[in-house]
Amino acid sequence: NARLTDFEENIRQAREKANSIDRANWHIFDRKDNNEYASYLDDANSVENLAVIFPTIFFAVAVFISLLSMSRMAIEDRSEIGTLKSLGFSNMAIRSKYLLFAFMATAIGGILGSFAGTIIIPQIILNAYRMMLEMPIFAYSKNLLPILIGMALSILCICGATLITINGLVKEKTTELLRPKAPLKGKKVFLENIKFIWSRINFSNKIAIRNIFRYKKRIGMTVLGIAGCTMLL
């Protein structure tokens, strides 16, 4: 009985000590609280946000390049277009020739770009991350909808730019198309009015400056293309 009393006293003291201990605070963490995982997730979200901006700029640059390329091709093929019209080919048949060319180039480029964008480029990015992180097996996306939408937009933009370029040319008279296009009229540039600057520029640079103002469309496309690429960088 004496041992039992001592035992009960010890239990009572132990309970008092337990009751005097402050309530414990639980800290529950998941994988998002891991620094490496959170860093990788932030990078993935950043790339996802950029994926909204980049295609817009790429489409704009592609349209500019298509306008410039097709306009140059159309100018070089003026006599050929005039010959086709004189042989009885309709304007629609001539348009379809250039539209088919633009469509085939866009389709081939879209297929190659889709392969590179879904397999090659992700593998390069993954290898870069594997230098810093322990990466699991990488699964490639098999969602074809964005690829099909991108190719459809590319075909629409580039074929549309081609149609705008060639449409004005086929409406010209056959006799005018068979003759070479007259060169653009040269004009004075504003620098020529500043004599102390213009007189110190050599002849080759004067020609280059005049051509910049003479071919405004080409220089505009070049500036916009380089500005877009630089902005992406």
Give the span between the Cα atoms of 224 and 60, in whole angstroms: 9
How many CA atoms, within 13 angstroms, populate the side-chain half-sphere of residue 57?
15
Q: CA triplet 38, 40, 42: central angle to 5 degrees?
A: 70
Does residue 109 contact residue 66 with C-beta atoms inside 8 Å? no
Mean per-residue pLDDT for 25-42?
A: 85
Query: 62-93, pLDDT tens digit by residue?
Result: 777 777 777 778 778 888 888 888 888 888 88
Query: 167-223, pLDDT tens digit by residue?
Result: 878 888 888 878 877 776 767 777 777 887 888 888 888 888 888 877 777 788 788
**Farthest-apart Cα atoms in the chain, separation:** 129
Give the span between the Cα atoms of 50 and 105, in whole angstroms: 26
Does residue 47 contact residue 117 with C-beta atoms inside 8 Å? no
Query: 43-70, pLDDT tens digit by residue?
Result: 888 888 887 788 887 777 777 777 777 7
* Residue of higher predicted confidence among 189 and 14: 14
* Residue of higher predicted confidence among 62 and 109: 109
DSSP 63-92: HHHHHHHHHHHHHHTHHHHHHHHHTT--HH
Task: Report, in angstroms and rounded to the nearest whole number, the Rg of the chain calculated over CA atoms.
Answer: 35
pTM above 0.85, yes or no: no
Query: 143-183, pLDDT tens digit by residue?
Result: 788 888 888 888 888 888 888 878 878 888 888 878 877 77
pLDDT at position 186 is 66
DSSP secondary-structure letter at 120? I
Pick the closest to residue 169 from 77, 64, 86 (CA basis).
77
pLDDT at position 184 is 67
Fill in the amino acid letter for 151: M
